[in-house]
Structure 1
Amino acid sequence: MSTTAPKRLANLWDDAKAAAMSEPERLVYRSNLLGSDKRVTNYGGGNTSSKIMQKDPLTGQEVEVLWVKGSGGDSASIKLDGFSTLYMDKLRALKGLYRGVEFEDEMVGYLPHATFNLNPRAASIDTPLHAYVNHPYVDHMHPDAIIAIAASKNSKELTKQIFGDTIGWLPWKKPGFELGLWLGKYCEENPNAKGLILESHGLFTWGDTPKECYETTIGIINQAIEWFEGQTEGKTIFGGQAVQSLDADARRAIAARLMPKIRGLISEDSHKLGHFDDSAAVLEFVNSKNLRPLAALGTSCPDHFLRTKIRPLVIDFNPANPDVDAVIAGLADQIAAYRVDYQAYYDRCKHDNSPPVRDPNAVVYLMPGVGMFTFAKDKATARISGEFYVNAINVMRGSSTVSEYQGLPEQEAFDIEYWLLEEAKLARMPKPKSLVGKIALVTGGAGGIGKATAVRLLREGACVVLADIDETALTTANDELSKAFGADVVRPVIINVTKEEAVISGFAHAVVEFGGLDILVSNAGLASSAPIEETTLELWNKNMDILSTGYFLVSREAFRLFRAQKIGGNVVFVASKNGLAASPNASAYCTAKAAEIHLARCLALEGAAEQIRVNTVNPDAVLRGSKIWAGEWLEQRASTYKTDKDGLEEMYRERSMLKRSVFPEDIAEAIYFFASDASSKSTGNIINVDAGNAQSFTR
C-alpha cells in the first residue's frame, strides 16, 4: 500500500537456517521475518505462536505447550524471552470457567495458572486467539493491505471476492476470550481455510509447519496488494488533490516554528517529544480534498487507535497563502477545541468503572502542504505513533478508493482506550527517569566534557543534540552514544557557535528532530596561553568570538525557543575557575571566561519571570578526555609551570585543596544537577568543580 516500498513482499524464509533451529527458535525466526517489514505489521503489533511438544519439568511427560508472543515486545526484535509459554490442556480447561462476554476480563487472571516452566513473561490478551485455533502454527498480523479490506464498509463481500473460501471473515469483536472461541469455532467448521480477516482489525493465518504458516501470511498479503493495485490504478485517491506541498526547506522551516509552539501548549502536565514526517504518503493525504472527513473518522485497527488516539487534529493552513503567524496565533484555540471535543467523547462513552480521563491533547497533528507532527512522552513513542498513522493513511487510501472507509465505532474505540486491563498495564510501568521528556543541546558535544555531559543526561532519560564544529569527532560521538542509548534519543548537528546563521539553523534542525528545547549546555570552548605582549589581536578575538560571542548567540537562540514554548527552560554555562581567579599568561582566556560568568548572571535576571534558569559550572584542570588539552594549551601551560603533561596533572592535583584530580564526569554531574529539578530553585548560581581553590571562592 505504501507509495515508496517495493510492490511485493519477498519470501525471506531460508530452509537451511530454519533446519538448524529448535522449534522455539523457528518461532523467533518466523516472527523476526514478519516483523522486519512494516507492511506486514507495525511496531509492537501482531503476534505469532507455535504449539510445541515439550517435556513437563514436573512429570517428565511430553505435553503440548503454547508459545505465544507475550504482553509487549516487537515481532521484528523479539527473542525467546519475549514469548509466554502455557500448558495447552490448562488453556482448554479455561473454557469451562468462562461466564460470558461481561466477564471477559476475569479470564486474563486465570492465564498465569496455565504457565509452563515458571515462565515470567506475562501472557497477552490475545492468548486465547492462538490457543483455540486447531493448527500448530498461527500468525496474527496487521498488514495495511488487509486492514484496508477489514475497514471497508463491505469488508465481508470484499474478502469473499478477493480470496474465495481460502480466507474467511468474522465481524468486529474486541480481543479477548470470546473472540478466541469464535476463531476456534470457525476453524472447526472450515477445515480447508488458511486464515481469516477480522473486521476492523487484521489477519489470522495458520499452517501445519512454521514455513507453511509464514508463506501463507506473505502470500495472502501479496494477493491483497496485487488486488488493490488493479482496483486503484487510474482512480482518484482521497478525492483528489486540494493543495500543493511547499518545498522541503519550507516544510522544515515551518516545522521548526510550529513544533515548539505545539509542544508548549500540550506540555503543561508533562513535557512531550515531537516527530516530523513529510513523506510522500503523508503529503498525499494532508493535501487531499478528503483530509478532514477521513481524519474525523479516526483509525480502525485497535493497534493504530491505541497509538494515535480517537482522531488527529488538522491544523488550519493554506499553503497557497502560507501565513505561519496566523497559524501560530490560532493554535491555542485549535488545541483547546480538541481538548473539549475529547472530553465530550470521554463523557459520552465512559462507564461507571472507567479510569479517569487521560491527557486530552492530540497525538497526531496534520498540516496541509507541510506534513504530520506527532507528540508523545518520549521520542520513540512519538516516532512510532507517526508510523502507525502512516499505516492508517495507507488503510484509508485503499478502503476509500475501492469502497467506503469506516473507523472503529466510537464506543468500541473508547472501550479499548480505557480498557481496565490497559490501565493496569500503565499502572505497572516503572517510575520515569528524572529527565524523561526533556530535550538538551550540548555545544562542544564531541569533546570530553560535552560527551560526558551527554551521557549523564541520556542516562536520566533526556534526548540530546550533540553540537560541534569537528565533524569527524561529532560522527564518532554520535555513533557511540546512539549505540549505547538508542538512535531515537541522540542527534548530531554541526554548529560553529561564532556564526549567527549557523547557530540559528543548527537550533532549527534540533527543534525539527525533537520538537523543542529544554536544556542548553553551553560548553564549546578553546584555551590559549600567552604573555600579554605576545597576545595577538587575532588570538584575543578568537577567545572572545568562541567564549563570549558564541555563548551569547546560543543563549539568545535558546531563550527564543523557551519563550515560544512557555514551559520554562534551563541554561548551564561551562565556564572556568579562570573566570573568577586570574592565571598568568592567559589574559584573553580568563577575560572571556569572566564575560561568560557575567553573561549568565544577566540572563538569570532576564529569564527568571518565565522560569528560565541560568547557572554556571566552573571546571579547573580537566586534562583527561578534554580536547583543549590536546594541543598548544597543554604545552603552553606546562611551559608556564615548568613541567610536562604528567607533571602538570600532578601539579594541578597537588595545588588543589582536596588533592584530587578533576575528570569530565565530575563536571557532567554538576551540569546534571543544574539541568534537573534537584536545583529547581537555583538560578544565577555557580558551582566550582576544581577540587578546591581558595582563589575561586565566590564569596
Structure 2
Amino acid sequence: MTTARETIDALLERSHQLGADPRTTNFAGGNTSAKGTDTDPVTGQDVDLLWVKGSGGDLGTLQEKGLAVLRLDRVRALRDVYPGVEREDEMVAAFDHCLFGKGGAAPSIDTAMHALVDAAHVDHLHPDAGIAIATAADGERLTREIFGDAVVWVPWRRPGFQLGLDIAAIKEANPQAIGCILGGHGITAWGESSQEAQQNSERIIREAQAYLDERGTADPFGAHDAAREALPEDERRAKASALFPVIRGLASTDAPMIGHWTDTEDVHELLAGEKLAALAELGTSCPDHFLRTKVKPLVLDLPSDASTEEQVARLHELHEAYRGDYAAYYARHASQDSPAMRGADPAIVLVPGVGMFSFGADAQTARVAGEFYVNAIRVMRGAESVSTYAPIDEAEKFRIEYWALEEAKLQRRPKPKPLATRVALVTGAGSGIGKATAERLVAEGACVVIADLNLENAQAVAEELGGPDRAVALRADVSDEASVVQMVADAVLPFGGIDLIVNNAGLSLSKPLLETTAKDWDLQHDVMARGSFLVSREAARVMIEQAMGGDIIYISSKNSVFAGPNNIAYSATKADQAHQVRLLAAELGGHQIRVNGINPDGVVRGSGIFAGGWGASRAKVYGVKEEELGEFYAQRTLLKREVLPANVANAVFALTAGDLSHTTGLHIPVDAGVAAAFLR
C-alpha cells in the first residue's frame, strides 16, 4: 500500500516535471492532484484524502506547503448540496469545510474537478498545443481526428463545480478515455498511478503537437509584411530604449507599472504577419492568459521604420482609444454586482519591428504577462495552421476577468511595499554606500539597476539581491559621457524606465593644496561633479518622457559645507554636487521630479573609498591608526556613533518612500552630529 508520504512525493515530482516547460503549462497555471490515505489523528483510522495544488501556486516550483489537503468523502458529499450552476461560486467557500487538519494551501476553483473525477491522479494543464486544438473553430472534429475515442471533447464551460461534474461524468461514460480537451481552455488527463497520469498528459500534448506540425500550414499568420519585420538587433535595442519609458508611462495612467521587453522570434513572426490586427483584436482565450494579459493588446499600427517621433505620437492616440474601448467593454458586460473597473490601460503593447512590452505590478508579473502572451501567440499559430482561431467570446472573458472569486484573490494579495513599482538606478553600487542603498531599495520593493565601474562587483550584488526580477548589473564609467548615455539607455530595458536615481559613484584623494595636482582635481571632478551631472541629465530625459515624476538623490558629503584640512579637491567637488541638488530641484520640479541630497561623514566600514587608500590618508592626517578611524570619527560627533553604509541607505529610503512627497532641494546630514557642518 502506498503511504501518504510516497503519494505526496510522487505528486510533487510529477508537478515539477510537468511545470518545467512553459509550453506545457503557464507559470502559476494548471494543477495536479493525487488521492490516497492517511491516518486521522482523532480516530486513528485511515481516511481518504485529496492532495491538490492550491490556489495561485506554480507547478514547476510546487512544495508540499502549496498543496491543499481535503477529506475526499466531504468534497464528494458536496454533490448532494450543490445548488446549481447559477450559484456554483458558493462551492469554493464550502471547500474550507472539507479541509483535513490545517488543510495546507487555499483550495482553488479547480478542486472539484480533481475530487470528483474517479481516478487516483488527475492533471489539468494549459499546453500550447492543447489550447490550439481547444480554440480551433472545429476543435471537436480535430479532437476526434487526432485522438479517436482516447480523448473526449468538452465544450467551453467556466472553471468551477459544474465543470468538475461534467468531466467526472465524461470519465465514467468513456472508460477507454485518458483525458479531455476543454474547449477554449486546456486539457485534463488522469491515471491510476502518478506515472500513468503524467504519461497520459504528455501523450495528449505530444500527439496534438505532432498533428499541428504535420498538418499545419507554413504561414498561419498570413503573408509576411516586410514593412513590419524585425529591425536589426542594435536598432531594435535603441528603439526599444527610446520607446519603453513612453509606453510605460501610458500603461501606468491608472496605476504605476513595471515593464518587460520581449524580443523573440515568436513575437516578431506575429508582428510581421498580415493577420496581426485581426488576431490581436480577437485576444487570448485560456483564462490564465487573458487574466494576465487583458482581453487584447494595444498594437502600434506603423511600419518598423517609422521615426520615434511618429511612433510616440501614434502611441498616445492609440492609448486614448484603447482606454475608451476598454471602458466600453466594461460597460457592455458589467452588472450591479461586478467589481469596479480595475484600470483601462493595456497590459501588452505590440510594436512592429521592436517587439512586445508587457506590464505588471512587479517585475515578475510583467515578465510572466509577456510569457503568457507568447503562449497565446503559439496557440493562435497552431489553431490558424489547421483551422481558424476562435477564442471564447467577449462576454465569457468578462465573466472571468471580473469574477467575484478572482476579485477575492486580488484582495488577498499582501499590501505592496513602499517602493513597489519603482525602478532605481544606483551608481557605484558594487560596494559600500551604493551596495547598502541597493539592498534597502530592493527590500522595500524597488527594482534596481546596479551600476559600477567594476562589473564583477555589480553582478555579485545583483545576484545577492535576487537576480533579474529584482536587480540587474551594468558597467559604467560615470566620468565618460558616452558611457553614461549608454548606461541609461541600457538601464531602461530591464524594467521599462527609471524613477529613482542615486548619484553615489565616487572616489577621494586626500592631499594638501600644494600637493594636489591638476590631474587630481580633474579626476575628482570628472567622477563626482561631472559624473553626477551626466547621470542626472540622462536620467531626467527618461523621467520626463515617462511623465511619472521621480527622485534624484545625490550622495554628497559633510565636506560639502565643512572645511577640513588637506582635502581641497574632494571637498570642492562635493560642494559642486550639493549645489547641483538646489539647481536641479528648481529646474525639474515642474516635472514632479524631486532632487535631494544626503551628507554622510566618516563612513569607514564597507566603504570602497576608504579601502582604496583614502582611509590610510585620513588616518595619517588625524594621527590615528587606520583601523581606529571609524571610532575616531564617531568620537568627534555629538551622538558618538559610527556612521555605517546602512545609515545612508536609510536616508535614501526616507526621502523616496512617499512620506516626504513635498520635499525637494533638501540636504539631510547623516554624520551622527557634526556641529560645524550644520546647514545654515
Specify if TM > 0.5. yes
Which amino acid is 1:230 matched to? E
Alignment partners' CA distance in 2, 1:331 and 1:66: 50
Q: Is the 8 A contact 1:667 1:689 kept in 2?
A: yes
Aligned residue for 2:356, secondary structure, equals: strand
Deviation string 1:135-182 (CA, Å, 9 cap, x unpaired) is: 100111111011000000000000000011111111000000111110
Aligned residue for 1:529, secondary structure, equals: coil
Q: Is the 8 A contact 1:129 1:181 kept in 2?
A: yes
- 1:401 aligned onto 2:391: no
Alignment partners' CA distance in 2, 1:477 and 1:93: 54
Deviation at 1:120, TM superposition (A): 4.2
Q: Is the 8 A contact 2:250 2:345 kept in 1?
A: no
**Correspondences of 1:224-243 after superposition (within 5 Å):** 224-232=208-216, 235-243=218-226
Moved more, 644-653 or 409-418: 644-653
Give the equivalent residue in structure 2 for 1:657: 638
- 1:116 aligned onto 2:112: no
Alignment partners' CA distance in 1, 2:411 and 2:458: 39
Deviation at 1:316, TM superposition (A): 2.2
Give the equivalent residue in structure 2 for 1:13: none
Gap regions ≥5 residues in structure 2: none
**Correspondences of 1:434-513 after superposition (within 5 Å):** 434-482=418-466, 486-513=467-494
Aligned residue for 1:325, secondary structure, equals: helix
**Correspondences of 1:626-645 after superposition (within 5 Å):** 626-645=607-626
Which amino acid is 1:239 matched to? G
**Correspondences of 1:190-205 after superposition (within 5 Å):** 190-205=174-189
Give the equivalent residue in structure 2 for 1:526: 507
Aligned residue for 2:35, secondary structure, equals: strand
Q: Is the 8 A contact 2:253 2:345 kept in 1?
A: no
Q: Is the 8 A contact 1:604 1:615 kept in 2?
A: yes
Q: Is the 8 A contact 2:459 2:472 kept in 1?
A: no
Aligned residue for 2:180, secondary structure, equals: strand
Give the equivalent residue in structure 2 for 1:11: none
- 1:581 aligned onto 2:555: no
Aligned counterpart in structure 2 of residue 617 of structure 1, from 576, 582, 598? 598
Give the equivalent residue in structure 1 for 2:111: 127
Deviation string 1:449-477 (CA, Å, 9 cap, x unpaired) is: 01110111111110000000012211221
Deviation at 1:519, TM superposition (A): 0.3
**Correspondences of 1:324-343 after superposition (within 5 Å):** 324-343=308-327
Which amino acid is 1:277 matched to? T
Which amino acid is 1:481 matched to? L
Q: Is the 8 A contact 1:604 1:613 kept in 2?
A: yes
Q: Is the 8 A contact 2:261 2:356 kept in 1?
A: yes
Q: Is the 8 A contact 2:52 2:69 kept in 1?
A: yes
Aligned residue for 2:502, secondary structure, equals: strand
Give the equivalent residue in structure 2 for 1:568: 549
Give the equivalent residue in structure 1 for 2:397: 413
Aligned residue for 1:181, secondary structure, equals: helix
**Correspondences of 1:90-239 after superposition (within 5 Å):** 90-232=74-216, 235-239=218-222
**Correspondences of 1:647-686 after superposition (within 5 Å):** 647-686=628-667
- 1:312 aligned onto 2:293: no
Q: Is the 8 A contact 1:439 1:464 kept in 2?
A: yes
Alignment partners' CA distance in 2, 1:584 and 1:537: 18
Alignment partners' CA distance in 1, 2:340 and 2:657: 29
Deviation at 1:271, TM superposition (A): 1.3
Deviation at 1:358, TM superposition (A): 1.2
Percent identity between matched residues is 46
Aligned residue for 1:116, secondary structure, equals: strand
Alignment partners' CA distance in 2, 1:303 and 1:672: 36
Give the equivalent residue in structure 2 for 1:15: none
- TM-score, normalised on structure 2? 0.98
Deviation at 1:232, TM superposition (A): 2.3
Deviation string 1:299-321 (CA, Å, 9 cap, x unpaired) is: 111111111101001012211x3
Aligned residue for 1:614, secondary structure, equals: strand
Which amino acid is 2:273 matched to? S
Gap regions ≥5 residues in structure 1: 1-17
Give the equivalent residue in structure 2 for 1:254: 239
Give the equivalent residue in structure 1 for 2:251: 266
Q: Is the 8 A contact 2:3 2:37 kept in 1?
A: no
- 1:691 aligned onto 2:676: no
Q: Is the 8 A contact 2:212 2:385 kept in 1?
A: no
Deviation string 1:18-43 (CA, Å, 9 cap, x unpaired) is: 99962111111110111011111010
Aligned counterpart in structure 2 of residue 280 of structure 1, from 262, 265, 272? 265
Alignment partners' CA distance in 2, 1:505 and 1:658: 43
Q: What number of residue pairs does the alignment pair up?
A: 677
Aligned counterpart in structure 2 of residue 428 of structure 1, from 405, 412, 436? 412
Alignment partners' CA distance in 2, 1:480 and 1:427: 31
Aligned counterpart in structure 2 of residue 292 of structure 1, from 277, 286, 290? 277
Deviation string 1:288-307 (CA, Å, 9 cap, x unpaired) is: 11000011001111111111
Which amino acid is 1:257 matched to? A
Deviation at 1:649, TM superposition (A): 1.9
Alignment partners' CA distance in 2, 1:268 and 1:414: 22
Alignment partners' CA distance in 2, 1:466 and 1:253: 20
Which amino acid is 1:582 matched to? A
Aligned residue for 2:103, secondary structure, equals: coil
Deviation at 1:594, TM superposition (A): 0.3
Deviation string 1:71-98 (CA, Å, 9 cap, x unpaired) is: 1110000100101011111111100111
Which amino acid is 1:597 matched to? A
- TM-score, normalised on structure 1? 0.95
Aligned residue for 1:86, secondary structure, equals: strand
Give the equivalent residue in structure 1 for 2:335: 351
Alignment partners' CA distance in 1, 2:4 and 2:458: 42
Deviation at 1:265, TM superposition (A): 2.1
Q: Is the 8 A contact 1:137 1:208 kept in 2?
A: yes
Q: Is the 8 A contact 1:577 1:696 kept in 2?
A: yes
Deviation at 1:487, TM superposition (A): 3.2
Moved more, 386-395 or 509-518: 509-518
Which amino acid is 1:100 matched to? G
Give the equivalent residue in structure 2 for 1:22: 6
Deviation at 1:429, TM superposition (A): 1.8
Aligned counterpart in structure 2 of residue 43 of structure 1, from 19, 27, 37? 27
- 1:302 aligned onto 2:287: yes
Deviation at 1:404, TM superposition (A): 0.4
Moved more, 527-536 or 641-650: 641-650
Alignment partners' CA distance in 2, 1:559 and 1:471: 24
Alignment partners' CA distance in 2, 1:393 and 1:220: 20
Alignment partners' CA distance in 2, 1:73 and 1:487: 21
Deviation at 1:266, TM superposition (A): 2.9
Give the equivalent residue in structure 1 for 2:73: 89
Alignment partners' CA distance in 1, 2:224 and 2:410: 41
- 1:381 aligned onto 2:362: no
